[in-house]
Structure 1
Amino acid sequence: MKAHFDGNDFPDGLKSLFESSRVSLSIADYTAPDCPLVGVNDMFCEMSGYEAGDALGRNCRFLQPEGGAGPVRQRMREYLAEDGPGNAKFVVPNVRRDGSQFLNLLYMAKLTRDGKVRLVLGSQFAIDENTGERAGVYDLALQSDLRQLNLLTADDNWALLGSYDALASSHSIIAQAKLD
């Protein structure tokens, strides 16, 4: 698998994680206007149907349907506007390049360097009729990736802010989405 980054100033550990992960990953530049995507992995491209060149440099809103994502969009903005550490989960309506729609279980975590938020890591999981079978595998893979990311970026003064508590609610979010 490949990782696609806009620029060369990413720690090797982060690049390695993006290449080896079986989870759809993206990374946005928190310091740039409109938080554009500056990194995606092949799993992101596979899930969304977009090539890396179509995604890099754009805010991830391009995945939302015409008219936007509704109230969840405001909750995402509030999370991003909050100072300091944190992570959050959202269920976001998205549209693949081919026009097919899906619900995206999006996990976001802030990455800091020298005590300031610099990047936002996004992990995406398409919720569909087969989600229940794969949800546990997704959580385990994401937990492993996040632990590996902490280890691989520590030498470069990068830190993942937040906790693994947000992962615990995946099954309930998926179940609720299926009921709604």
Structure 2
Amino acid sequence: MQWLDKDGELPQALGTVLDKSKVSLSLADLRMEDAPLVGVNKAFTAMTGYSASEALGRNCRFLQPAGGAGPVRQRMHDFIANPNLSEGKFLVPNVKADGTPFLNLIYLSKLNLRNEIVYILGSQFEVAQRGDDALQMYETALKQDIRSLREVVGELGMVMLGTYEQLASSHSIIAEMRLSDFRGYL
């Protein structure tokens, strides 16, 4: 896991768990202005084509196309602003470093430290060009990673909010996308 130099407080144990993951993962710090990414793993850089130095310190909106992500951006903002929501899943049009557009299925989970939500853990999955088998492998790997992360953050005095129910909705989100006008973004 590559970290933003500023965030020296992030425990090494958390980075170790995230870096071992084959799932694209990022960590944003809500205490910093515009909630920039403070951690990205190798799977994130491989999927997006952006190096860690290009991604760290920036809000993840930099992945959105020039015209924006449409209504999903407001839904993501509402999720982050709502303290009663602990996790969410969003289908977002994104663009890789080389300009290639793709649909990104993003799972967000809030990490709480001393009753304050301090981090948002993001997991990304490229929907376009992937089938149901790849989605199932992603969900299985993500569930395993979340179990490992819960153990580590618990030892660090943090609480990873939420449950696994959001993962079960991936197939329905993708089906809705196929029926919607998301193709206009690609």
- Paired residue for 2:103? 103
Look up the match of 1:138: 138
Aligned 1:57-68 pairs, distance under 5 A: 57-68=57-68
1:10 equivalent to 2:10? Answer yes
Q: Deviations over 1:84-119 (max 9, x none)?
A: 451000000000000000000000000011111000
Q: Moved runs in structure 1, 4+ residues, more than 3 A?
A: none
Alpha-carbon separation, structure 1, partners of 2:130 and 2:90: 19
Report if aligned partners of 2:111, 2:118 keep a CA contact under 8 Å in 1: yes
TM-score by length of 2: 0.92
Q: Report the counterpart of residue 40 of structure 2 in structure 1.
A: 40
Counterpart AA for 1:152: V
Q: Percent identity between the aligned chains?
A: 46
Gaps spanning 5+ residues in structure 2: where? 181-186
CA distance in 2, matches of 1:116, 1:63: 27
Q: Distance in 2 between matches of 1:170 and 1:14?
A: 26
* Matched residue count: 178
Q: Which region of structure 1 is more displaced relative to structure 2, 9-18 or 85-94? A: 9-18
Partner of 1:121: 121
Give the equivalent residue in structure 2 for 1:22.
22
Q: Distance in 2 between the 1:170 and 1:17 partners?
A: 23
Provide structure 1 residue ranges, at least 5 long, that are not aligned to the other structure: none
| C-alpha separation in 2, matches of 1:92 and 1:80 | 15
Is the contact made by 1:11 and 1:153 (CA closer than 8 Å) also made in structure 2?
no
- Rounded to whole Å, the distance in 1 between the matches of 2:84 and 2:117 is 7
Quick check: 1:149 aligned with 2:149?
Answer: yes
SS in 2 for 1:104: strand
TM-score by length of 1: 0.95
